[in-house]
């Protein structure tokens, strides 16, 4: 019997103002920079109803993280701190969703790319 191996597939890409992982805040809400999430065409239908959300939890893959950096220069392990440098560099960020145009979501407080998933944090009228 072959074991099932889960596969992550990006559903979109985030365009943030950060040029390197070091430029990004350790937590997206710590900076109020604006970013855009472009949801890829095959997943466009998944955006139905997202206009009713004003906050999203965005799951992203820190694609530029150092996956071998288990301990920092102070001896603190990756699981004991907020760092993109970890064995499986998944990031979770709670963002405000002020606007949407087609497949593009304008968000505040996002610090990573590519996007793996978006979930409504709160659903209510804006």
**Domain at 36, CATH number:** 2.40.30.70
- How many domains is the chain built from? 1
Instruction: Write out the residue range of the structural domain in which residue 36 sits.
Output: 12-121
Do the domain assignments include residue 7? no
Structural domain includes residue 5? no
At 14-37, the pLDDT tens digits run 887 767 656 665 555 556 678 899
The verdict on residue 39 lying in a domain is yes
For residue 3, being part of any structural domain is answered with no
pLDDT digits (tens, 9 = 90+) for 91-110: 888 889 999 999 999 998 88
Q: Rounded to two decimals, what is the model's pTM?
A: 0.78
Which pLDDT band, with edges at 50, 70 and 90, does 75 fall under? very high
First to last CA, the chain: 50
Q: Is residue 52 part of a domain?
A: yes
The percent of residues in the chain predicted with pLDDT above 90, rounded, is: 33
The whole-number average pLDDT for the span 54-80 is 90
- Note whether residue 2 is domain-resident: no
């Amino acid at each position: 019997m072959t074991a099932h191996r889960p596969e992550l597939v990006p559903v979109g890409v985030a365009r943030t103002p950060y040029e390197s992982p070091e430029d990004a805040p350790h937590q997206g809400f710590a900076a109020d920079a604006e970013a855009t999430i472009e949801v890829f065409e095959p997943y466009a239908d998944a955006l139905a109803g997202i206009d009713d959300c004003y906050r999203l939890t965005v799951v992203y893959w820190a694609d530029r993280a150092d996956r071998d950096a288990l301990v920092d220069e102070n001896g603190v392990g990756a699981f004991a701190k907020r760092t993109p440098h970890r064995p499986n560099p998944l990031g979770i960020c709670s963002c405000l969703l002020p606007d949407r145009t087609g497949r593009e979501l304008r968000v505040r407080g996002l610090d990573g790319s590519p996007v793996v998933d978006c979930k409504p944090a709160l659903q209510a009228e804006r």
